[in-house]
């Protein structure tokens, strides 16, 4: 058994342990027949099985990449093995990453997860051109890894609350995100108190809330799928079917990239 097949098998065991089955399943509004070979999608530091379900439903094979003791020892292998990377939500990135002191409301990631994810996303961005999707904290990681900075606390700085609420987002007309959703304005859930401030090199802002908070960024590289969204689409798929679009687009991009790499070999 080659290493990829072994990883898929291990992923299946993990999925069963979570009480789910790896592979595609059907719900109303979900494609029933895949038009591509299911790609392996790495999920960093799993915090909720909703990410696994969203990737599985979109046609990918979810593989959890454990942060363990924070060691980067296996990261090179992960880069080779998985076809796409999903960076999930979580606590806050140390503001020392962009040269600021810690705000009283900032709740730092645990050290092991911080060290692992910092190395993982840096290596993924700089040493691969494979698809990357960041959600909430994952979106913030994308910006910080590109040299950007964050607003540490939206309520104290802007006088608005983005945690535990809903609000509209407005998408840029010429963005990949607009193409994915087919709409320029829609309602999202909002669970964050931090957001992008200075946009990292090679990124562009593609969505904002009505109060001006940055809600999504994507790469300026037209040939790469690299998107960060501040809301949690995986949590509202059941009530807002279009939120599945971003996972389908991500998985399909990973499948195409994986297929091209196999052909090249």
> Which residue of the set 146, 162, 192, 232 is catalytic?
232
63: Cα within 13 Å, side-chain hemisphere: 24
Strand partners, 188: 167
Let me know if 218 is a catalytic residue.
no
Let me know if 136 is a catalytic residue.
yes
> Which residue of the set 57, 215, 218, 234 is catalytic?
234
Let me know if 234 is a catalytic residue.
yes
> Which residue of the set 136, 146, 162, 218 is catalytic?
136
Which of the residues are catalytic? Answer: 136, 232, 234
């Amino acid at each position: 058994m080659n290493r990829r097949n072994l990883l898929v098998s291990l992923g299946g065991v993990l999925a069963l342990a979570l009480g789910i089955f790896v592979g595609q399943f059907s719900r109303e509004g979900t494609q029933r027949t895949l038009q591509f070979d299911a790609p392996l999608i790495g999920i960093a530091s799993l915090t909720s099985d909703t990410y696994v379900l969203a990737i599985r439903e979109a046609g990918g094979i979810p593989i959890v990449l454990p942060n363990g003791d924070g060691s980067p020892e296996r990261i090179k292998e992960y880069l080779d093995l998985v076809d796409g990377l999903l960076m999930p939500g979580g606590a806050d990135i140390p503001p020392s990453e962009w040269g600021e002191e810690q705000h009283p409301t900032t709740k730092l990631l645990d050290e092991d997860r911080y060290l692992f994810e910092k190395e993982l996303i840096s290596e993924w961005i700089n040493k691969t051109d494979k698809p990357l999707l960041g959600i909430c904290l994952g979106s913030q990681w994308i910006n910080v890894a590109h040299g950007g900075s964050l607003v540490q606390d939206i309520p104290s700085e802007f006088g608005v609350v983005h945690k535990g609420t809903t609000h509209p987002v407005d998408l840029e007309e010429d963005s990949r995100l607009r193409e994915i959703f087919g709409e320029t304005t829609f309602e999202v859930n909002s669970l964050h108190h931090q957001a992008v401030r200075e946009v990292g090199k090679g990124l562009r802002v593609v969505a904002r809330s009505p109060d001006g908070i940055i809600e999504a960024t994507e790469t300026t590289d037209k040939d790469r799928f690299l998107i960060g969204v501040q809301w949690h689409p995986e949590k509202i798929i059941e009530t807002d079917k279009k939120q599945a679009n971003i996972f389908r687009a991500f998985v399909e991009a990973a499948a195409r990239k994986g297929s091209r790499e196999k052909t090249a070999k």
